[in-house]
A and B are shown apart, each in its own frame.
Chain A
Amino acid sequence: MTGMKKKKLISNFITYGIVIIAFIIVQIMQSTGNLSSMMTGLLVPLCVYVVLAVSLNLVVGISGELSLGHAGFMCIGAFAGAFFSKCTQNTITVGGLRFFLALLIGAAFAALFGLLIGIPVLRLKGDYLAIVTLAFGEIIKNVINVFYVGVDSHGVHVSMKDQFSLGMEPDGMLILNGPQGITGTPKDASFLAGIILILVTLFVVLNLIDSRDGRAIKSIRDNRIAAESIGINITKYKLMAFTVSAALAGAAGSLYAHNLATLQAKKFDYNLSILALVFVVLGGIGNIRGSVIAAVVLTALPELLRDMAEYRMLIYAIVLIVMMIFNWAPKALEWRERYLGRFFRKSVKEGK
């Protein structure tokens, strides 16, 4: 038992280590001027997608529920965070503090909605759950699309028609402009903040998995009836995983929103949910470290393929298919075991 615990601890520290080493490598490259502008621009988005993938893995891998609405929670976090930063732009002038609060607010709002949506949705399972989460993701996006919010000297104005019916004073500031979203969010996000968010996310998720609650969640995944029979509160533990996951996705959204000058709800469509799911599946369902690596590789890949011009999306798709087969097809696994197994085992020994 202690051996297993130790093994787990080592595995967790490897995961943290990868993130920290990646951070150090990037810092060294940046200070020696070896980092291209494109990679510099990609740093924060990479952090966003890593957090998104890890948070989704908590629902898909650990709690065993297929959720296709993860982009919706990211959307809530993004808009809540951006809204807060935009409102307090002139009152809180310390960028770091404002961003920290925006992250918390993004996570809190997403958690709230995760809880509210989770209560009815988690009564379903399997394909039904997938379809309903998909619908909720789209609902969130479309609800944000119809809101127009402005602030002037009389207070906050809200409309669901268009920006002209807000009836604002000329000194007013339009914050949320319906489908055109929020523009001019202060660009507070930084790579350091992203890395810290990744570490916090990993800390929360890995500790949850290894805790008593985490074992309860996994027992529900593995055998619901058996778990229920020993007195585990199914709804409570499912909701716990779902809400924590939503909160982390919300924080990722807030990070995303503070990296771009324009934020539109249409970005958070089901394509993004599927993309997050692809990260999780490719990295290995339930494998947190795999999610981190898959998110980094798959986000960077289409950008690194830019030299292929119009073929890059085609190549991206082919690479995706090949990687999927290599990782999951039974025959491919068998082949890997036979030919690469020796090699891997050897390198593991060397590593020790």
Chain B
Amino acid sequence: MKKLAKALSFTLAAATVLSTTAFADDTFKIGSIGPVTGPAAAYGSAVMNAAQIAVDEINEAGGVNGALLEFNPQDDTLDAEAAVNAYNKLKDWGMQMLLGTVTSACCIEVESYAVEDNMFLLTPSGSAVDCITAGDNAFRVCFSDPDQGAASARYIGENGLAEKVGVIYDSSDVYSSGIFATFRAEAENQPFEIVEDAVGAFTADSKTDFSVQLQKAKDAGVDLVYLPIYYNEASLIFTQAAAMDFSPLWFGVDGMDGILSVDGFDNSLAEGVMLLTPFSADAEDELTQNFVAKYQDLYGEVPNQFAADAYDGVYAIKAALEASGATADMSASEICDLLKVAMTEISLDGLTGTGMTWDASGEPTKAPKAVVIEDGAYKGM
């Protein structure tokens, strides 16, 4: 009896020891949460890597308001429950600002806690509307889903790209179905129609075979297939469509970015694919080229849009900290109160847009860029 009670209290005591680790007051502590392991590890790792690059750059240049930045990435394995644990762990560490979380569903969960704590939250890539609606403490770097869906529909309509449109989307993903919902709403005002028979849904459990969805789209005779999905599934779709001799126009969103770096994917299949993205690794401005070179140097791959969003996120926090004059010895709540005002005042020239601004709702204002893949590279449209 004694022994077992001891064993139990040991577990609890171990946690207390961890919680009381001393921390210095002369650094700004930025936490981040994302899937570093598991099915979405590619996105989480990209964010953590790029944020680390940005933090190191800032520290080399002397830090912010006389204090250095400290960055602590935590894994959530794409699970909302683990994301909350990670958030609590970061709070114990003394986190003052949260860059994250990376994915939408986890972000909604964490935000419900961050609001209560008045913790500043800047999600690099959580694009679902609800990620930042729970309170005024939350902001985001990427576009929200409705923005993208409506912008895609307008782009297709205004440029007369198609008359009959098919869609393949992931109904288990907030990101994908959110974009599709607004795409469908905006499509009613546009001169093309979405063919109901050619709307194919899949879920996270069934994302390896798309022949049914493609056959339906083919039978319906659509001219364009809209793909509000991530590039991994898109690469399978292109390969399977080529095998069944189906070649409509393809139109993607920012999740499509990265398609040219999929292992074992024949890049010629992506020829002519159009996508809306705020970032392309082939852009020729100095900022992008420096970032891409540094990222490739350190991690051996071409950064995707998640990485770019995270990099901009860190610089947005830096700009807001400078504008607000916050100091490192303030509590998370005090910093949050300052930052949520400062965020609406700054303007940032970053990788994912120039002159980015934020409003009090937390949404960024930047122009989406449409690009087309030609000769294995992005070209502006």
Residues of A that sit less than 8 Å from B by CB: 14, 17-18, 21-22, 25-26, 29, 34-42, 45, 142, 145, 162-164, 178-180, 183, 187, 260-262, 264, 266-267, 289, 293, 296-297, 300, 303-304, 306-307, 309-310, 312-313, 347, 350-351
B317 within 8 A of A: no
CB pair A14–B108 under 8 Å, yes or no, is no
Give the contacting residue for B37; candidates A22, A162, A187, A310; CB below 8 A: A310
Complexed CA–CA distance, A17 and B8 (Å): 12
Closest chain A residue to B80, Cβ basis: A262
Q: A25-B9, A347-B3 known; A261 and B109 CB under 8 Å?
A: yes
Name the A residues within 8 Å of B373 (CB-CB). none
Map CB proximity to A onto B9-23 as digits: 1 under 8 Å, 0 otherwise.
Answer: 101101110111000
Closest chain A residue to B108, Cβ basis: A262
Complexed CA–CA distance, A350 and B15 (Å): 29
Closest chain A residue to B79, Cβ basis: A267
Question: Chain B CB within 10 Å — which of A34, A41, A45, A267 has the most?
Answer: A41
CB pair B92–A142 under 8 Å, yes or no, is no
Can you list 21 pairs linking A and B with CB atoms under 8 Å apart? A18-B5, A29-B16, A36-B16, A38-B18, A38-B89, A178-B177, A262-B80, A262-B108, A262-B109, A264-B80, A266-B172, A289-B4, A296-B8, A297-B11, A300-B15, A304-B15, A306-B89, A309-B75, A310-B37, A350-B2, A351-B3
B294 within 8 A of A: no
CB pair B81–A18 under 8 Å, yes or no, is no
Complexed CA–CA distance, A351 and B87 (Å): 40
Give the contacting residue for A145; candidates B73, B92, B112, B203; CB below 8 A: B203
Complexed CA–CA distance, A347 and B14 (Å): 24
Name the A residues within 8 Å of B1 (CB-CB). 14, 17-18, 351
- Would you give the shortest CB distance from A133 to chain B, in whole angstroms? 18
CB pair A145–B2 under 8 Å, yes or no, is no
- Would you give the shortest CB distance from B287 to chain A, in whole angstroms? 29
CB pair B171–A162 under 8 Å, yes or no, is yes
Q: A18-B8, A180-B174 known; A37 and B19 CB under 8 Å?
A: yes
Name the B residues within 8 Å of A34 (CB-CB). 16, 19
Closest chain A residue to B10, Cβ basis: A297
Q: A261-B108, A351-B2 known; A41 and B130 CB under 8 Å?
A: no
Name the A residues within 8 Å of B9 (CB-CB). 22, 25
CB pair A163–B181 under 8 Å, yes or no, is yes
Give the contacting residue for B105; candidates A17, A145, A262; CB below 8 A: A262
Complexed CA–CA distance, A334 and B177 (Å): 57
B88 within 8 A of A: yes
Name the A residues within 8 Å of B204 (CB-CB). 179, 266
- Would you give the shortest CB distance from A197 to chain B, in whole angstroms? 17
CB pair A260–B2 under 8 Å, yes or no, is no
Q: A164-B184, A262-B109 known; A38 and B85 CB under 8 Å?
A: yes
